[in-house]
Chain A
């Protein structure tokens, strides 16, 4: 007797902050097939970019996703700068790293909180978000906004950091590092939390690579792949240490993001200690971009790729964005079949889905 049942999971579901649909084919409580579907909030931003001028597009790409807004803009301006042969001030490279790593902390703390919420650990969720809030306060104090902070510009950055602001950033990230030691006990070592994460949704190194996984998804399966090793911006001077785990399960994905917060803190402090003095953080830009370029940076969720084609006018012929969630969705085809229905929300969260990015 065929006792298969098809369950629609999402697009509206308590665990989903954004709309993603999964068609789950079930045998009793076990998932035997999962097909993801998107398309609920597609905005056509790539098309909109063709009618904005290349400077306006900095603000547009920041709105692809709030949580990765700094890195979207960074990837875009790096591409335009490569097309126009613009050498930005050294100080701007360090400023970009500081704000990008602050953004990575706030993204990972947001995710760690959402994961705790997904498996029903409300107080842990609030503790993670309490620390995230400290980063949001820094954003507001240094850039005037909490999420979309608009600090990148073609030619450098739109703002500088004062020595007082940098001293405060060091003080706050040290506080967060101390809090992380407390959170480690609950997030990585607690018996009930491990029960929900260890051995759940395992993705081998070979599977992760073949399915095109990026970011913490790939690194949790032992794929040593992080674009910060390419040394863009000031990363080449900061002795970046990649975080890699081997088990490929939900616990490993949590551990990678947790440990990356500590690496972000180290990078921020290293960047602040080495930032070149000087008043110049942006150079004037003349002319219009022409030719083609591919620009890539490492966002909190993984590699983002921008393909940019200019035609010598202020408008671009094409702006193509491949976001990390777009690359990580295929892993669901492998991770979810074989799991229990109760684990689907946790599995879905472990790819850190950003549908705003995916449906740019």
Chain B
């Protein structure tokens, strides 16, 4: 139901971001979706004249995803957020908070990832 979404590989991400910047698109945000079984989708949203253009990448948790902050500095906050809340391994973020943008050292890791309840024993 999302219109104007293109599936790309993570290797195409930087070149697509540069194209968007060159064409005068504003970076709106990125949305991370945990699909379970360590599969993550990230949708990058760009806007020009109130029209949204979206790119979706599919990665495994822990797999490296390049940061687009060299092209769009404003992406630093959401990239740090996705890194901490979902365990998305974003590399080369222009300002990397080192895992302490939102979380404290004692906090649960990846707190917004899918919760799986495993029954142990007969009870």
Contact = CB atoms under 8 A, between A and B. Distances in A.
Is chain A's interface secondary structure helix, strand, loop, or mixed overall?
mixed
Interface in A274-323: 291-294, 296, 303, 305, 307, 309, 317-318, 320, 322
Nearest to A334: B73
Interface in B75-120: 76-78, 95, 97, 100-104, 111-112
B103 A39 contact: yes
Interface stretch (B12-20, B28-36, B59-67): B28-36
Nearest to B102: A39
A38 B101 contact: yes
Contacts of A211: 73-74
A38 B102 contact: yes
A262 B28 CA distance: 28
A308 B70 CA distance: 28
Contacts, number: 77
B101 A39 contact: yes
Contact of B111 (A44, A82, A292): A44
Contact of A307 (B43, B101, B104): B43
B73 A330 contact: yes
A356 B76 CA distance: 19
A294 B2 contact: yes
Interface in B48-75: 50, 52, 54, 72-74
Given A37-B101, A326-B78, A307 B73 contact: no
Contacts of A330: 73-74, 76-77
A292 B1 contact: yes
Is chain B's interface secondary structure helix, strand, loop, or mixed overall?
mixed
B10 interface: no
Contacts of A359: 102
B28 A212 contact: yes
Interface stretch (A140-148, A167-175, A193-201, A225-233): A225-233
A70 B66 CA distance: 37
Nearest to B71: A210
A176 B104 CA distance: 45
Nearest to A323: B29
Interface in B21-50: 26-29, 31-34, 43, 45, 50
Contacts of B26: 209, 212, 225
B28 A322 contact: yes
Nearest to A291: B1
B1 A42 contact: no
Interface in A301-360: 303, 305, 307, 309, 317-318, 320, 322, 326-327, 329-330, 333, 359
Given A309-B33, A322-B28, A47 B1 contact: no
Nearest to B2: A292
Most buried by A among B26, B34, B76, B78: B26
Contacts of A82: 1
Listed from nearest, the 10 A-B pairs whose CB atoms lie closest are A212-B74, A322-B29, A39-B102, A330-B74, A291-B1, A307-B31, A320-B31, A318-B33, A47-B112, A211-B74
Interface of B: 1-2, 26-29, 31-34, 43, 45, 50, 52, 54, 72-74, 76-78, 95, 97, 100-104, 111-112
Given A37-B97, A82-B1, A322-B78, 12 more contacts: A37-B101, A38-B101, A38-B102, A39-B100, A42-B102, A210-B73, A212-B27, A291-B1, A292-B2, A309-B33, A327-B28, A330-B74
